[in-house]
Amino acid sequence: MRRTRAIARKEWIHILRDKRSLAAVLTLPVVLVLLYGYAVNFDLNALSFALVDDDHSAASRHLAENLSGVRPFVFKGTLANAAEADSVFQRGIARVVVVVPAGFERLLDSGRPSPVQVLVDGSEGTIATIAQTYTVGAISTLGRTLTKAQAQGRGISKRLLEPAIDVRVRVLYNPDLLSRMFLVPGLIGIILMMLAALLTSGIIVRERESGTFELLAASPIGPMELLVGKMLPYLIIGAADVVVAVGMGWAVFGVEPKGSLLLLFALSLVYVLASSAIGLFFSCVARSQQTAMMMAFVATVIPTMILSGFAFPVRNIPLVLQGLSQMLPATHYIAIARGIILKGIGLGPIWWHGLALALLTVFWMRLALRKFSKTL
Amino acid sequence: MQAVSVTGLSRHYGTTRAVDDVSFEVASGEIFGIVGPDGAGKTTLMRLLAGIVTPTSGGAMVAGCDVVADPEAVKQRIGYLSQVFSLYRDLTIGENIDFVADLYSEDLVRAGEAKARMLAMTGLAPFVDRQAGRLSGGMKQKLGLMCALIHRPTVLLLDEPTTGVDPLSRRDFWRILADLPSQGVTIVLSSPYMDEASRCHRLALMDHGRVLAVGSAAELAARVSGQMVEVVTPDPRGALRVLEGLPGLLSATPFGDALHVRLDGDDAVARVSAVLAGAGVVFSEARPAEASLEDAFIDLVGRGETA
C-alpha cells in the first residue's frame, strides 16, 4: 500500500511539474470535441439540384419553383438535356438532377400519373441516400397537392383522395434526427479512449528510457504495486477529461445527458480504467515511447473508429469482426453513453456493458502483469 | 561470513560474453573493487549481483540470498547505485529520498533521521528543495548514494560511482564510503580508475567478461612477472622506441614522467641502461621499481591474450 501510494504520489508530481503536457491533456478533449463535432456531420444542410425541363409548361415551372422553396433544396439552374447531368455531377455543381419529360403537364391534366425522373450523384453513399429520400419525399408531397387541386377543380371530394392509413412518425430521443446527437456520445468515447490509452502507453517505457527503471527494478517493489500506483494519477486525469468532454458536448452541441450524471461518470471511470489498461500493456511490451504510443494507437483508436458502433451500427459488421468489436472497450462505452445521454436509461439495460468493461480491465491488466519484468 | 559469493556466473548477449564464468567472494565489511576498462563487463556483473539481470548460467549469493532463486529478497537487503543516474530529475533531493524510503518501506522516523544526518554529512542540506536534474555530477552521485543507503542495506553495490565526478566531490564521496564498513556495510564497487582501486581492501581485475585475478592491491602487484625498471628520461617516446627491440621485454608503459619497463630474466636495470646508452637516448636514471596495480593489470591482460 505504502509503495503504491509512493509511486502514485511521484507520478502525480511528474504530471503537475510538466505544465505543458498537463495543459495539453486537459485542452485536448475541448479541441477534439469541437473538431470532430463540427467536422463529422451526416446532416444534409444544403441540397443543390438542377432541372432538365423537356416540357416547358406551367406545371414543370411550378414543380421547380416549389422544390426551390423547400428546405434544404437549392436551385442551381436548368440544363438543356439529361446528358448534361453527368458533367454537373462531375463538377460537383448539384447532387440531384430532376428530369421533367415532355408531356408532363398533359398527363397531369388528364388525371393520370405523370412520371418525373430523379438522377442522384451516388459517389457519396450516405449523402446520396439522404438526398434521394428528401427529393422523392418533396416531389411526392408536391404531387399530392397538385392532385388535390385538380380534384377540387373537377368537383371530386377531397376526402376520397385521403390515404386509407395515415402514418404519423414521431422520432424519440433525437426528434430532429440530428447526427450530432448520435455522434457526440460516441465522440466522447473515442476521445476518452485515445487520451487514456496514449497517456498510459508511456508510463513504464518512459522509466526504461530515462534510466530510472533501474532504480525501480533494483528495489523490492512488486509489479502489481508499481502498475497500480502508476495508473492511479491517470485515472484522476481521465476523470477530469470525462467532465470536460461531456461538458463540451452539452455546452457546445446541446447534447444534454438525460440520465443520471453520477451513473454516467462512474461507468466512464471504468471505461477510462479499461482504456488505461490497454495503454499500460503496450507500455510493458514496447522498448521505446514512440513504439508504445504507436502500438496503443493502432490497437485502440483505429479499430474503435470502425468497429465500436461510433459511426456504423455494430450489427452491420460481419460476425467474425463483431467478436472483435466486443473486445473493444469503446463498443460497450458508446452503448452506455448513448443509453444514458440520449435515452436517459438507468443501469438496468446496460449493466452487462459495465461488467464487460470491468472484465476487459482485468484482462489487459493481467496481460500487462505477465509481460512486465523487473529486469533490464 | 561472506557478504557476496559468486560462482561460475555468466551472462551472454548473443555471442557476446558480457560476463564469462566469474567466481569470487567478498567478506563482510570489506570494500571490494571490480576494476577494468570500459566494456570489461563491470556493469553487467553489478546488475547480476543486484538481481536485475538474469544470469545465463552460474549463480551468486548476495547478503545471504540467492540472486537467481530469490532476487526480491536480495533487493530488500542491498543498496544499488547504477552507473546511469536513475533518480527523478523533476523531483527535489528531498522528494527523491522520501520516495526511495517509501519504496523500501523504511520506518518513517528512522528514515527521517537518516535523511537529516546524511544531508548534513554530504553537504546537500542547503539544496534539499532543488530538483535533482539541476544538480552537478558530484551532487547527483551523493544523492544517489544517500538513496542507496536510506534503508540501511548490508551490501552496497556501486557501479562506477565516481566516473564523471570532480576530484573534490570524489574525495568527499570516498570519505563517506570509508565510514561504512565499521557500520557493518559491505561495499562492492566498480571503477575504471586504478588509483581509486587502491582504496579498496581487495580487488578483482576484470577484462573481456572474465575476472583475471583477485587480491589486495599489494598482492596483485607482487604477482607481476619479471623485473620492473623505472627509467627517468626527458624523451620517453624515444626510449620506448629503442626498448621495443630489447629481448625479453614484457611491457613498457609511460608512467607519469617516467617509463615503466618490465623485463624477463635477471640484471634488468643493467640491460635497460646498456641498450638505452647504446642507442644514445638521454636518461637521468634507471632504477629497480615496485610494480604498480597498472603494471599488474597490463601483465594479466597480456597473459590472458596469449593464453
Q: Which comes out higher in pLDDT, residue A71 or B60?
A: B60
Query: What are the C-alpha distances in Å from A215 to residues A212, A228, B26, B49, B277?
Result: 5, 18, 23, 14, 59
Q: What is the pLDDT of residue B283?
A: 87
Indicate the range of A36-50, B57-71, B72-86 predicted with least confidence: A36-50
Mapped onto helix, strand or coil, the DSSP state of residue B79 is strand
Model confidence band, residue B44 (pLDDT cutoffs 50, 70, 90) = very high
Model confidence band, residue B306 (pLDDT cutoffs 50, 70, 90) = very low
A181 is written with which cell numbers? 446527437
Helix (H) or strand (E) run with residue A25 in it: helix A19-39
| The pLDDT of residue A167 is above 70 | yes
- Residue A19 at interface with chain B, using a CB cutoff of 8 Å: no
The ipTM assigned to this model is 0.89
Looking at the fold, whether A199 and A345 belong to one and the same domain comes out as: yes
Chain A residues in contact with B100 by the CB 8 A cut-off are: 215, 219
How do residues A188-219 score in pLDDT, each as one tens digit? 999 999 999 999 999 999 999 999 999 999 99
Contact by Cβ (8 Å): B154, B77: yes
Nearest CA in chain B to A214: B86
Nearest CA in chain B to A211: B86
| Best residue of B99, B145, B151, B156 to probe chain A, by most A CBs closer than 10 Å | B99
How do residues A222-261 score in pLDDT, each as one tens digit? 999 999 999 999 999 999 999 999 999 999 888 999 999 9
Contact by Cβ (8 Å): A74, A47: yes
**What residues contact B284, with CB distance under 8 A and at least 6 apart?**
B232, B233, B234
Position A288 in a domain: yes
CATH number at residue A138: 3.40.1710.10
Chain A residues in contact with B80 by the CB 8 A cut-off are: 214-215, 218
Q: What is the DSSP secondary structure assignment for residue A72, as one 8-state letter?
A: T
Looking at the fold, whether A144 and A186 belong to one and the same domain comes out as: no
Looking at the fold, whether A202 and A289 belong to one and the same domain comes out as: yes
Nearest CA in chain A to B159: A214
What DSSP line would sit under B229-266, residue for residue?
EEEE-S-HHHHHHHHTT-TTEEEEEEETTEEEEEESSS
| The pLDDT of residue B307 is above 50 | no
How do residues B122-168 score in pLDDT, each as one tens digit? 999 999 999 999 999 999 999 999 999 999 999 999 999 988 888 88
Q: Which comes out higher in pLDDT, residue A120 or A175?
A: A120
Position A61 in a domain: yes
Q: Which comes out higher in pLDDT, residue A286 or A38?
A: A286
| Best residue of B11, B102, B106, B152 to probe chain A, by most A CBs closer than 10 Å | B102
Distance from CA of B103 to the nearest CA of A (A): 5
Contact by Cβ (8 Å): A336, A359: no
Looking at the fold, whether A193 and A310 belong to one and the same domain comes out as: yes
Chain B residues in contact with A375 by the CB 8 A cut-off are: 52-54
Looking at the fold, whether A279 and A340 belong to one and the same domain comes out as: yes
**Inter-chain contact B104–A212, Cβ cutoff 8 Å?**
no
How do residues A321-338 score in pLDDT, each as one tens digit? 888 999 999 999 999 999
A107 is written with which cell numbers? 398527363
Distance from CA of B246 to the nearest CA of A (A): 49
Position A279 in a domain: yes
A124 is written with which cell numbers? 457519396
Model confidence band, residue B305 (pLDDT cutoffs 50, 70, 90) = low
Distance from CA of A320 to the nearest CA of B (A): 41
pLDDT, chain A, mean: 89
Crossing angle for the helix pair B137-149 and B108-122, to the nearest 10 degrees: 150
Position A2 in a domain: no
Q: Minimal CA–CA distance to B76: which of B96, B109, B106? A: B106
**The total number of structural domains that make up chain A:** 2
As a whole number, mean pLDDT of residues B280-288 equals 87
Model confidence band, residue B45 (pLDDT cutoffs 50, 70, 90) = very high
Looking at the fold, whether A306 and A250 belong to one and the same domain comes out as: yes
Q: What is the pLDDT of residue B254?
A: 83
DSSP bridge partners of A205: none
CA angle A266, A293, A277 (to 5 degrees): 35
C-alpha count within 13 angstroms, C-beta hemisphere, residue A265: 10
Distance from CA of A9 to the nearest CA of B (A): 9
Indicate the range of B67-71, B151-155, B268-272 predicted with least confidence: B268-272
Model confidence band, residue A271 (pLDDT cutoffs 50, 70, 90) = very high
Q: What is the CA radius of gyration of chain A?
A: 29
Residue spans of the domains in chain B: they are 2-220, 225-290
Option in A5, A9, A375 nearest B52 (CB): A375
Looking at the fold, whether A35 and A52 belong to one and the same domain comes out as: no
B33 is written with which cell numbers? 573493487
DSSP H helices in B51-166 = 71-77, 93-103, 108-122, 137-149
Position A168 in a domain: no
Looking at the fold, whether A62 and A206 belong to one and the same domain comes out as: no
Mapped onto helix, strand or coil, the DSSP state of residue B212 is strand
Looking at the fold, whether A33 and A51 belong to one and the same domain comes out as: no
Position A27 in a domain: yes
Q: Which comes out higher in pLDDT, residue A159 or A294?
A: A294
Looking at the fold, whether A15 and A148 belong to one and the same domain comes out as: no
Mapped onto helix, strand or coil, the DSSP state of residue B9 is strand
Looking at the fold, whether A254 and A312 belong to one and the same domain comes out as: yes
Helix (H) or strand (E) run with residue B286 in it: strand B285-288
Phi, psi torsion values for B71, nearest 5 degrees: -60, -30
The bridge status of strand B210-215 relative to strand B202-207 is antiparallel
Looking at the fold, whether A184 and A215 belong to one and the same domain comes out as: yes
Percentage of chain B with pLDDT > 70?
A: 99
**Inter-chain contact A211–B50, Cβ cutoff 8 Å?**
no
Query: What are the C-alpha distances in Å from B268 to residues A205, A231, B232, B237, B295?
Result: 59, 70, 15, 20, 16
Position A167 in a domain: no
| The pLDDT of residue A372 is above 70 | yes
As a whole number, mean pLDDT of residues A27-51 equals 83
Indicate the range of A158-167, A361-370, B52-61 predicted with least confidence: A158-167
- Residue A1 at interface with chain B, using a CB cutoff of 8 Å: no
Position A102 in a domain: yes
Q: Which comes out higher in pLDDT, residue B193 or A212?
A: A212
How do residues A106-163 score in pLDDT, each as one tens digit? 888 887 888 899 999 988 877 888 888 888 888 888 888 777 777 777 776 666 666 6
| Best residue of A7, A215, A225, A226 to probe chain B, by most B CBs closer than 10 Å | A215
| Best residue of B19, B45, B46, B52 to probe chain A, by most A CBs closer than 10 Å | B52
C-alpha count within 13 angstroms, C-beta hemisphere, residue B199: 19
Q: What is the pLDDT of residue A60?
A: 85
Q: Which domain holds residue A139?
A: 47-161
Architecture of the domain whose range is B225-290: 2-Layer Sandwich (3.30)
Fold topology of B2-220: Rossmann fold (3.40.50)
Q: How far apart are CA B62 and CA B45, in angstroms?
A: 12
How do residues B206-262 score in pLDDT, each as one tens digit? 999 999 999 998 888 888 888 889 999 888 888 888 888 888 888 888 877 788 898
B250 is written with which cell numbers? 614484457
Q: How far apart are CA B205 and CA A238, in angstroms?
A: 53
Distance from CA of A16 to the nearest CA of B (A): 10
Task: Give me the count of residues in chain B.
Answer: 307
Single-letter residue type at B216: S
Model confidence band, residue B304 (pLDDT cutoffs 50, 70, 90) = low
Where a domain ends, among A111, A132, A161? A161
**What residues contact A214, with CB distance under 8 A and at least 6 apart?**
A376, B52, B80, B82, B84, B86
- Residue B104 at interface with chain A, using a CB cutoff of 8 Å: yes
Q: How far apart are CA A312 and CA A306, in angstroms?
A: 7
Single-letter residue type at B237: R
**What residues contact B20, with CB distance under 8 A and at least 6 apart?**
B10, B12, B41, B208, B209, B210
